[in-house]
Amino acid sequence: MKIKKDTTSPADIGDYMKVFACTAVMMQTVLSLVLATSPTYNYQTPIGIIYNLVKFTAPAFIFGILYTTTRTTNQNTLANYGGYMKKQWSALFVPTIWWTLAYLLIMPNVQQINQYHNVGSFLWHFINGNAAPHLWYNTMMLQFIILMPFFWMLARFVKNNSKRGIWTLVITVVFFAAWIGFYDLEVFHGPHEQSWYLLDRIFISFVIYGIFGVLSWMFRDKLEKFLKKSFPILVILFVVVFYWTNKELFNFGYPVSLANAPYYKPSMTLYALLVIGLVATLAIRHINTNSKALPVFHFLATYAYRAYLSNVFWLQIIWRLGGKNLVDVNPILAIIVCYLLTWILSFASAYTFHIIWSKIKDSLPRKRVQESTE
């Protein structure tokens, strides 16, 4: 059986990636907040392990976005760029602007690195991702949206040409390995750890996942065959690499610092790619069997980005209304309760705000028509 090629399918691999990534990133936020309360080492160990388990979010989201966008727009050229950006402006940039303002104006305490103190620093925090713990990723992700013409060119370049696809894959892996090596020497506990921290939100640091997303759609039949044959191996490698990531983290000792588990390491890169492969396998199985889960994943994927933007906002409210007190009772209980409430409120608010905004937009033309006829 082949992956369905009908672009009207209720969900695709990209949708699954977005849902898994959004769901996992909320757990990362909760874990970071609970760990900041300095729980005992007995609790820091499972927190570190769970954090490594969900440390695939940004790569999976980038892969998912590029996979879905390539599926729906791979025939586009620069002539289509204006229309494409117009759609992305309303779907991605507008929610980003509103939520970034909400964090800076309503919850300035969640800023990272430092606090804004004038108009210039306010604007700088607005665009560099320091407005909230999770917005660094947003700054990086939007770069891929802006640079889509290059990925359209790549899609046309490799189309129906396996040799070009293989060469693209090899060059990407070699380049990215060199970049990871450079980051490990110069930034991660290196001489430029503080001054070059913005490198973690430049698209180059995640470009392998974007390119793999493009290649996965353009060679989707080959991808399915590969995943079916290699699934048992992927599972074994997942266990081995997951152990590797945890060994690296705990080699730094206690107290556990989640900063010692960055994306920019060979272990984390392999781990993210393995998770992407496993999630893709699940998605392909659901697509081929026309699973009842397809519409659910498609629905959640539609609101995943907006839910992701809001999750820190809702978590802060939950934390202040009693979540922090739960840590004194049991840190694991606090993680479970805060996570579930954050997930529910994030997706519920994303859907609610979408409905409200849709109704407002639908009412505007009618008002104008009424005014013009009076």
Q: What is the pLDDT of residue 4?
A: 45
Separation CA 71–CA 69 (nearest Å) = 5
Classify residue 348 as exposed, middle or buried by CB count within 10 Å of its CB (0-12, 13-18, 19+). Answer: middle
Q: What is the pLDDT of residue 197?
A: 84
Separation CA 116–CA 114 (nearest Å) = 7
Nearest in space to 267 (alpha carbons), one of 188, 194, 326, 159: 188
| CA dihedral over 178, 179, 181, 182, signed as positive or negative | positive
**5 lies in some domain:** no
**332 lies in some domain:** yes
Q: What is the pLDDT of residue 191?
A: 87
Separation CA 22–CA 17 (nearest Å) = 8
**171 lies in some domain:** yes
Q: What is the pLDDT of residue 35?
A: 95
Calculate the CA dihedral of residues 34, 38, 40, 46 and round it to 10 degrees: 40
For residue 148, the tally of other CB atoms under 10 A from its CB is 21
**90 lies in some domain:** yes
Look at the chain and report how many structural domains it folds into: 1
143's tokens: 């770069």
**360 lies in some domain:** no
For residue 325, the tally of other CB atoms under 10 A from its CB is 11
Nearest in space to 52 (alpha carbons), one of 219, 220, 239: 239
**Cβ 258 vs Cβ 51: under 8 Å:** yes
Separation CA 80–CA 346 (nearest Å) = 33
Separation CA 133–CA 113 (nearest Å) = 10
Q: Which amino acid is at 17?
A: M
Residues 6+ apart with CB under 8 A from 181: none
Domain limits at 226?
Answer: 14-352
Q: What share of the chain is helix, strand, coil (3-state, %, to 5)?
A: 80, 0, 20
Q: What is the pLDDT of residue 7?
A: 43
**366 lies in some domain:** no
**218 lies in some domain:** yes
**312 lies in some domain:** yes
374 residues of the chain, pLDDT tens digit each: 344 444 445 678 999 999 999 999 999 999 999 999 999 999 999 999 999 999 999 999 999 999 999 999 989 989 999 999 999 998 899 999 999 999 999 999 999 988 998 999 999 999 998 999 999 999 999 999 999 999 999 999 999 899 999 999 999 999 999 999 999 888 888 888 888 888 888 999 999 999 999 999 999 999 999 999 999 999 999 999 999 999 999 999 999 999 999 999 999 999 999 999 999 999 999 999 989 999 999 999 999 999 999 999 999 999 999 999 999 999 999 999 999 999 999 999 999 988 888 888 777 765 443 444 33
167's tokens: 């060469």
